[in-house]
Structure 1
């Protein structure tokens, strides 16, 4: 399965190209339909249940399922059962190998587009601390610049509002990591981090991702189809906390993997209507150093959502 689109952005003399031709995409056959999967707790091998193909593609997308021969199969197979067991073990669920109610409840939440397993290695922490991803990063530095793609269009938020919300997310990391600074600059190939809003896979599903080895050095993509809100009261249908998601993606830029702890900013799932970034901020994350070169070791070229 391939993502059959090319995002082409021309900014003055800067040509910014994302060629998305190889990475498996759930949007092609309804990533959003993952929310319609029904839980089952007593499936037998060989059972054919509508929706299992969507579950199979989801687990493949997230790195748990390696089957690329028949991703459209609705048959309950041993490899699908095994992938479910790994996912359940990762997130401290009952390890049943079944798409039971707790498992389906988590899987159907909107999530980050960075997989939990990259090149066979899990990037998910096993406790309260964040796991440092041990790929080399080009951003092993203290002073960062970030810029906004000029054509960004965010539903429900004015340009000033979404820029202020993003700035608050960077400020949060400055407080968490003493000595790191983030300064807004114009979008250019000299920026360390770019902020881009564009359609990813329709509403919900994947709501944001981070890509390295690009121009700027890292680009944070946020799904423009979502009902993003800043510090406003969440009154729209399926509102998502923009500040929380930006904090999460900045964490990837800084080298952090995913966290099992749902109160951590590095938890890959974002909960609809949860004003995560404005409640108990000191409980959102526990950032412990000392692993794999410390903050800034980073993801390097280990993963590209569009590649």
Structure 2
């Protein structure tokens, strides 16, 4: 009887969250747009694609942001996205591009305040786009003061007890892979970093969008906030169909240290995270934080 109870407990710990399998994925609308290209008009849900691109840092023309017309600015934004993800920069919504866009991901935008020139037919346009070669930094290169190498973290009351150990593990990875040390505190008034679980609109101006969309987000230094979407299916161990909490936490801690997204797919700071994926800190992540803090 005791062994049966233990088995049930382990199963509950292995996959924790409200089930997302019966809900339409937040980015599921993109599947119906595969193949669309410049010149098409009245394309159902195309305005949602424009909002998606704008949300993650690929601007489209404000004059057409709310309509369903595939114009020059949308082609340019898609091309910028494709370049950032090492996809063929056709400017059309190819199956490969749609698959990348539909992947669950971090809510922090890919693109920060940099400018590059991107080919658009015979023209070249200037966009607020950074074509990252590998690691990147948050906008303005925010960082913790040089004297602040010990960061204290605490858990909000809405964090489930099963989530504590994976998040401890994630801080441990950064403790071993950076100049920072991390100390757990129970008094939130003493915490530099606060961790919580939320659903939908939770008052920070970045509402979660439900299952298999934005899975988490974090604030750059020295904001110190990391939020996970409680509507996702989370796992303590790598589990098919569930998001590995430690993997996502490692990514979000990187943002709290000042790192942006990486183009290296194996890096913890890569924006997308497929269910069942387990990642550890990558050399690219460690090199990024060393470069940000000007360490050898």
TM score, norm. by length of structure 2: 0.75
Task: Indicate which of 98, 103, 107 corresponds to 1:104.
Answer: 98
Cα distance, 1:37 vs. partner?
2.7
What residue in structure 2 maps to residue 183 of structure 1?
A: 183
Contact 1:116 1:124 in 2 (8 A): no
What are the equivalent positions in structure 2 for 1:59-138 lying under 5 Å apart?
59-120=53-114, 122=129, 125-127=132-134, 130-133=135-138, 134-138=140-144
- Counterpart in the other structure of 2:246: 243
User: Conserved in 2, the CA contact under 8 Å of 1:124 and 1:257?
Assistant: no
Q: Which has the larger radius of gyration?
A: 2
CA distance in 1, matches of 2:155, 2:270: 25
Unaligned runs of 5+ in 1: 1-29, 154-158, 296-307
> Structure 2: how far apart are the matches of 1:195 and 1:163?
10
Residue in 1 that maps onto 2:259: 256
1:194 aligns with 2:194: yes
Matched, 1:229 2:235: yes
- Aligned match of 1:49: 43
User: How far apart in 2 are the matches of 1:175 and 1:213?
Assistant: 20
String of CA shifts for 1:37-57, please: whole Å, max 9, x gaps.
Answer: 335346341433212111111
Q: 1:205 corresponds to which residue? A: 213
Which residue, out of 158, 162, 174, partners 1:151?
Answer: 158
Contact 2:250 2:281 in 1 (8 A): no
Deviation digits for residues 114-137 of structure 1, max 9, x if unmatched?
10123455566313xx22334333
**Structure 2 counterpart of 1:163:** 164
**What do you get for the CA RMSD once the two structures are aligned?**
2.5
In the alignment, the residues of structure 2 paired with residue 193 and residue 165 of structure 1 have an alpha-carbon distance, to the nearest angstrom, of 16
The answer to whether the 8 Å contact 2:156/2:196 transfers is: yes
- State the SS of the aligned residue for 2:74: helix
Residues 267 and 281 of structure 2 are in contact (CA less than 8 Å); yes or no, is this contact kept in structure 1? no
Between structures 1 and 2, the one with greater helix share: 2
Q: TM-score, normalised by structure 1?
A: 0.73
SS at match of 1:118: coil
User: Alpha-carbon deviations, 1:118-167, whole Å to 9, x = none?
Assistant: 3455566313xx223343334552111000001324xxxxx0x3101000
SS at match of 2:197: strand
